[in-house]
Amino acid sequence: MKKILLIATGGTIASRQGENGLKPDISSGGLLDCVPEIHEYCEADSVQVYNIDSTNITPEHWIKLASVIKENYEKYDGFVVCHGTDTMAYTAAMLSYMIQHSPKPIVLTGSQQPIDEEDTDGRINLRDSFLYAASDESADVTIVFQGKIIAGTRAKKIRTKSYNAFESVDFPVLGRIRDGRIISYIKTPKAVAPEFYLNLNRKVGLLTLTPGMDGSILDAYFKLYDAVVMSGYGAGGIPEGEYYGFYEILEQWKGKGKTLAVTTQVQHEGSDMSVYQVGRGLKKRFDLLESYSMTYESIITKLMWALALEKDEAELKKLFYKNINYDQIG
List, for residues 129-187, the tens digit of each pLDDT value: 999 999 999 999 999 999 999 999 999 999 999 999 999 999 999 999 999 999 999 99
Whether residue 276 has pLDDT greater than 90: no
- Annotated catalytic residues are 12
Residue 123 near residue 115 (C-beta atoms within 8 A): yes
pLDDT for res 20: 86
Helix (H, G, I), strand (E, B) or coil at 218: helix
Helix (H, G, I), strand (E, B) or coil at 117: coil
pLDDT for res 25: 86
Compute the average pLDDT of residues 302-326. 95
CA distance 227 to 291: 13
Q: Which amino acid is at 229?
A: V
Residue 144 near residue 127 (C-beta atoms within 8 A): no
Residue 230 near residue 261 (C-beta atoms within 8 A): yes
pLDDT band at 330 (very low <50, low <70, confident <90, very high): low
Q: Which amino acid is at 330?
A: G
CA distance 203 to 225: 5
CA distance 86 to 12: 9
User: Residue 60: enclosing H or E segment and its boundaries?
Assistant: helix 59-72
Give per-residue pLDDT as tens, 182-226.
999 999 889 999 999 999 999 999 999 999 999 999 999 999 999
Which domains does the chain possess?
2-196 (3.40.50.1170), 204-321 (3.40.50.40)
pLDDT for res 53: 95
CA distance 89 to 110: 11
Give pTM, 2 decimals.
Answer: 0.96
Q: Phi/psi zone of residue 236: left (φ > 0), alpha (ψ -120 to 50 degrees), beta?
A: left
Whether residue 51 has pLDDT greater than 80: yes
pLDDT for res 198: 98
